[in-house]
Amino acid sequence: MTYLYLLALLPLGIILSMSADWVVKATSFFAKKFKIQSFLIGFLLLGVATTIPEMFVAFQSIQDGVPQLSIGNLLGGSILLLSFVMGVSALFLGRIILNHGMTLLDIGMSSLVVAAPALALWDGKLTRIEGFVLVGVYLLHVILISKEQHVVDHIEHHAKHVRHAGHGALMLGGGLLLLGVTSRSIVFIAEYLSHQWSLSPFVIGLFIVTLGTNLPEITLVVQAILSKKRDIAFGDVLGSAVINTPLLGIVCIAAPFSVPDHLRMRTTLILLAAVSAFFWWAASTKKDVNRKEGVVLLLAYGVFIFIEAMNI
């Protein structure tokens, strides 16, 4: 029965990804229809829409009294995206390009935002003040980055998949409903596995739940490798890692918490900061990541898995 629950996470992750895609398309359609011109509003709109899987899992885990599950999911997601996803992509493609006109400031700020939870969580506690700080760091990042045209292009790309307002409303409502049901099922299974395997919710979120909530980014990488496109939207993968920080802030604003074994968690935090720093160093020269740098990132993820497995 335990392994059936584990296998069920894959189709649930696919449904979660599909539902989020519906919401993104519908949101983009209505943003275009109502002529949202503000870059800040548009960027926040897309940022929230594209991270809906993590958001629903976060709120469901808070409701169930296991915020550590969401913390593991968010931290694990950031490490997965910057090390494994970027590393595998660079290894197979030889070089990946952070497109959409990203500047050195964009890359540096993004890396800083991804690493911010390492400092906030170091003492094993997250207060509401720290939650507001994490959200504030992200908002500062939004103000400073240069992605006006990217927001417009992104909205245009997704909006064209919606035929009319009724279609958009149906996609939005259906997507939100499926997201609610699916995220509830994922959190239920995660809690079940945590009890059955005598593992903390943090560890389950770190390795298992994060695979389901980051399926869109993993799918993007598979498509890039198969089509050999080095300039596919890897800037969006970085953006998905960045958005985990304000989500973590929202979690602790809603439900401040302490991690029981925070000394054990410090390994994860150190690796998060180290991967963020190396990624910034690798990408800041030519706004790309080459094969050698990808191998280092991939090895970092291997070290992460090994150390966490030894601590179980």
Q: Give the model's pLDDT for residue 38.
A: 47
Domains of the chain, by residue range, sit at 2-311
89 CB burial (10 A radius; 0-12, 13-18, 19+): buried
Q: In this model, does residue 246 exceed pLDDT 60?
A: yes
Is the CATH number of domain 2-311 3.20.20.10? no
Q: Give the model's pLDDT for residue 54.
A: 77
Among 14-23, 24-33, 205-214, the range scoring the smallest mean pLDDT is 24-33
Per residue in 38-68, pLDDT tens?
Answer: 444 555 555 555 567 777 787 778 777 777 7
Average pLDDT over residues 293-305: 88
> 134-173: b or e for each residue (b if 16 or more CB lie within 10 Å)?
bbebbeebbeebebeebbeebbeebbebbeeeeebeebbe
Per residue in 259-296, pLDDT tens?
Answer: 766 777 788 899 999 998 988 888 777 667 888 888 99
CA distance 124 to 145: 31
Structure tokens at 184: 């509830």
Among 90-99, 232-241, 249-258, 274-283, the range scoring the smallest mean pLDDT is 232-241
Among 66-70, 97-101, 230-234, the range scoring the smallest mean pLDDT is 230-234
Structure tokens at 205: 């979120």
Average pLDDT over residues 198-219: 79
Q: Give the model's pLDDT for residue 233.
A: 54
Q: In this model, does residue 135 exceed pLDDT 60?
A: yes
This prediction has a pTM of 0.81
CA distance 112 to 114: 5
Instruction: Pick the closest to residue 196 from 184, 213, 180, 208 (CA basis).
Output: 208
Q: What confidence category does residue 151 fall into, taking pLDDT thresholds of 50, 70 and 90?
A: low
CA distance 55 to 254: 12
